[in-house]
């Protein structure tokens, strides 16, 4: 029996928000080079590029939606396994099983 979309969506959003709210451990060695001030421009630049891309090619929005759908669970698993305080590789397994199930049970638009 599938949960109503609003309930399952709220559960996924709460899990994602808790990952963002968790305190961060020292960043992995590979990410320390990204601590320079210039990297603060990346989010603003990304937003501007996406707005421009969607204005030029509206199908870009669908592609980015699929990218987020596919990329978010593995990146959340990576965060649990390597980045947050108390990170353990086994914690990454908590993220992956619900992901396909939650997407398979979402309502289809008509």
Predicted confidence (pLDDT) at residue 95 exceeds the cutoff of 80: no
Please state, in angstroms and rounded to a whole number, the distance separating the CA atoms of residues 25 and 86.
8
Confidence of residue 7 (pLDDT cuts 50, 70, 90): confident
Looking at residues 53-60, what average pLDDT do you find? Answer: 95
Q: What integer pLDDT is reported at residue 109 of this predicted model?
A: 59
Looking at residues 54-78, what average pLDDT do you find? Answer: 89
Q: What integer pLDDT is reported at residue 110 of this predicted model?
A: 52
Please state, in angstroms and rounded to a whole number, the distance separating the CA atoms of residues 32 and 24.
13
Q: Using CB atoms within 10 A of its CB, is residue 60 exposed (0-12), middle (13-18) or buried (19+)?
A: middle
Q: What integer pLDDT is reported at residue 20 of this predicted model?
A: 74
Predicted confidence (pLDDT) at residue 87 exceeds the cutoff of 80: no
Per residue in 39-53, pLDDT tens?
889 999 999 999 999
Query: Can you give the pTM of this predicted structure?
Result: 0.56
């Amino acid at each position: 029996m599938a949960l109503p979309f609003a309930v399952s969506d709220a559960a996924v959003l709460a899990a994602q928000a808790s990952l963002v709210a968790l305190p961060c451990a020292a960043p992995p060695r590979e990410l320390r080079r990204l601590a320079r001030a210039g990297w603060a421009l990346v989010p603003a630049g990304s937003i501007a590029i996406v707005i421009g891309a969607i204005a030029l090619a509206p199908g870009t929005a669908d592609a980015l939606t699929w990218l987020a759908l596919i990329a978010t669970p593995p990146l959340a698993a990576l965060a649990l396994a390597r980045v947050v305080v108390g990170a353990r590789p086994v914690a990454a397994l908590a993220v992956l099983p619900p992901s396909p199930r939650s997407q398979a049970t979402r309502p289809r638009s008509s």
